[in-house]
Amino acid sequence: MLKSNPGAIPAEPRAIEMDESDRVFRKVAWRIMPFLFLIFVLAMVDRINIGYAKLQFSQDLAFSDTVYGMGAGVFFIGYLLSDIPSNMLLNRIGARATISRIMILWGIISGSMMFISSPTQFYAFRFALGLAEGGLFPGVLLYLTYWFPANLRAKMVALSLAAIPVSGTIGAPLSGYLLDSMHNVSGLRGWQWMFLIEGIPSVIVGVVAYFFLQNSPQKAKWLTAKEKQIIADTLAFDISKPEFNKSRVSMRHALASPIFLVLVILQVIGGVANSGFSFWLPQIIHDLGVTNLRVNGVITSIPYICAGLGMYLWGYSSDRNRERRWHYATASVIGAIGLMITCTHSHQVNVAIAGLSVAYVGTLSCTCVFWAYTTAYLKSNAAVIGIAFINSVAALAAYGSLSAFGAIRTATHSTTLGLYAIAGLMFFAALLVLCLPKHVQKEN
């Protein structure tokens, strides 16, 4: 295991042959990122397939929109409770055991949702699913800090987040197909088959994760000793930069930092917007008049496809220009305008879906830029708990917003008012993000 001299100043990466350094990190990316991407795709499919199941089990089980909103939202209470402890556990015992445990548990719980028959059972299963999955996203963000320096991490975060639109592109048509084609096969309803079939891959990949992932570069047998040293030197220099002040390495100081507070508020708004899309998009499309389950699944994938392409281009522009604030603010305004287009053209299906697509491009672009900024801001010990803390608070906000969204739709029989509320929050986020420093590396 490689050890560094605590009294020595890490060598600047320029001392390393840059072509060789680039080759090493490219090798690392091709080794671990496709697998992490697959994990996120499966996680998102198992998390949001409840939105498609709702179109069918609401009638089978006589669940109101309020019940659905509460059930969809209670996921985030479990998520909140396990977020920080899971990240601390990952930091202590490693990623392979932590991520494997998360995947196997969530796969079993997701598949077992085929047995729900009452609101209480629905709430219990959703809570358990959140408890199982809670540490995944912050855990992977922390895991990336073990392998990549800050100047490469933004690209890796963007690749991980790309799993969100990909999961919708794959999961929406698949879920619609299973709901329709498997309905009443062997006495089971379509939504029961959907939960069972979509939960199995997560269990299988969870077992594989234990043997495939390595906890750190130093334990990776597929890296040479020289490659491990290059990674260790680069990461050591990254952390030792003199401009990193104590608020970025100490969690106690980070919690008191105004910048950290702004980051928390921004992610709260991001959590509300993302959960609104993830859990209500099939119903929103249904309310536009697309009632056929297969067609609904196909059309629901359109905003995801657009968001995936838009997020990639936006993240590329943000990285290339080394600018975060205005990229976030512009994307947030675009997302809000897209939602308003949908609300004002709810009787014109094509225009409304175009508005949803624009809105989701803006929403996911905000998420991509946000985490690129945040993972560059928080360092060392602050990153371990800080990332999880931000994610946990956002999860709590998502719970409240989903419950409120369900109650609003029950009262108004429309999703329009809820979408207007999300648009207003996104306009506010566009103004708030300008309070952040222009360049994180210069903040002191």
The phi, psi pair for 188, rounded to 5°, reads -105, 145
The percent of residues in the chain predicted with pLDDT above 90, rounded, is 30
What is the chain's alpha carbon radius of gyration, rounded to the nearest angstrom? 22
- Would you state the structure tokens that stand for residue 20, as one six-digit string? 């060789």
Write the CB contacts of 348 (distance below 8 Å, at least 6 apart in sequence): none
- Residue 300, pLDDT > 60, answer yes
Average pLDDT in the 149-171 region?
A: 79
Mean pLDDT of the chain: 83
Which pLDDT tens digit goes with each residue over 22-41? 889 999 999 999 999 999 99
- Residue 111, pLDDT > 90, answer yes
Report yes or no on whether pTM surpasses 0.95.
no
Which pLDDT tens digit goes with each residue over 312-328? 888 888 878 878 889 99
Spell out the domains of the chain, with CATH numbers in brackets. 19-442 (1.20.1250.20)
More confident residue, 246 or 280: 280
Among 27-36, 148-157, 228-237, 377-386, the minimum mean pLDDT is found in: 377-386
pLDDT for residue 18: 60
pLDDT for residue 201: 95
pLDDT for residue 168: 83
Structural contact between residues 46 and 125, judged by C-beta atoms closer than 8 angstroms: no
Residue 243 pLDDT class (50, 70, 90 cuts) = very low
Structural contact between residues 281 and 356, judged by C-beta atoms closer than 8 angstroms: yes
Q: How far apart are the C-alpha atoms of 139 and 135, rounded to whole Å?
A: 6
pLDDT for residue 394: 80
What b/e sequence results for 214-226 when a residue is b if at least 16 CB atoms lie within 10 Å of its CB, and e otherwise? bbbbbebeebeee
Residue 192 pLDDT class (50, 70, 90 cuts) = very high
- Residue 241, pLDDT > 80, answer no
- Residue 6, pLDDT > 50, answer no
Scanning 214-344, the segments in alpha helix (DSSP H) are 225-240, 251-255, 258-287, 293-321, 325-344
Write the CB contacts of 4 (distance below 8 Å, at least 6 apart in sequence): 10, 232, 236
pLDDT for residue 32: 92
Which pLDDT tens digit goes with each residue over 72-110? 888 888 888 887 788 788 888 888 899 999 999 999 999
Residue 444 pLDDT class (50, 70, 90 cuts) = very low
